[in-house]
């Protein structure tokens, strides 16, 4: 499995950095965002290091699909199965700050469109 010793989310997956884990599968780990933007704000990451969603989709489409199904399961578990937003920021200009792909699950408040 690909990992990056300098990557924050690889460290969370390995258990070397503490996070509030809410769901784990063979291929994914989900944990609460440190700076939540909604009552439920969870990040779902693949265990393997991929810089962004497109690289994950190309390299491991099963894990990519599992990010979405995991996010959906967490949304249901938190009582928001019918209304939630999923976001992949890709590139610094789009707001990506951690370059280990992560799916944002946001739920529990009204969402506006377009996003900022
Ligand atoms: P992005 O800006 O799309 O790359 O998202 C990175 C997210 O990671 C931000 O929402 C941060 O609040 C979140 N974050 C940064 N460090 C941690 C951490 N140690 N534990 C949980 N979430 C974090
Ligand atoms: Zn990583």
Residue 72 burial by Cβ neighbours in a 10 Å radius (0-12, 13-18, 19+): middle
Who contacts 85 (Cβ-Cβ below 8 Å, separation ≥6)? 38, 104, 105, 106, 107, 111
How many Å apart are CA 89 and CA 17, to the nearest integer? 22
Domain 8-107, CATH homologous superfamily name and number: HIT-like (3.30.428.10)
How many Å apart are CA 103 and CA 64, to the nearest integer? 9
The average pLDDT across 16-40 equals 97
Q: What is the pTM of this model?
A: 0.98
| β-sheet bridge partners, residue 43 | 31, 104
Whether residue 19 has its Cβ less than 6 Å from ligand 1: yes
81-114 pLDDT tens trace: 999 999 999 999 999 999 999 999 999 999 999 9
In the chain, where are the structural domains located? 8-107
How many Å apart are CA 60 and CA 57, to the nearest integer? 6
Enzyme catalytic residues: 102
CA–centroid distance, 1 to ligand 1, in Å, is: 22
43-54 pLDDT tens trace: 999 999 999 999
Q: Got the DSSP string for 34-74?
A: SS-SSSEEEEEEESS--SSHHHHHHH-HHHHHHHHHHHHHH
CA–centroid distance, 62 to ligand 1, in Å, is: 23
């Amino acid at each position: 499995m690909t990992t990056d010793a300098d990557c924050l989310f690889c460290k969370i997956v390995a258990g070397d950095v503490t996070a509030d884990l809410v769901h784990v599968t063979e291929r994914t780990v989900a944990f609460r965002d440190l700076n939540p933007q909604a009552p439920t704000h969870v990040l779902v990451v693949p265990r393997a290091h991929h810089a962004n969603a497109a690289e994950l989709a190309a390299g491991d489409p099963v894990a990519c699909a599992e990010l979405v199904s995991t996010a959906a399961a967490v949304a249901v578990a938190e009582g928001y199965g019918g209304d939630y937003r999923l976001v992949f920021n890709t590139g610094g200009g789009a707001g990506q700050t951690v370059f280990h792909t992560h799916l944002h699950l946001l739920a529990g408040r009204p969402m506006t469109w377009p996003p900022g």
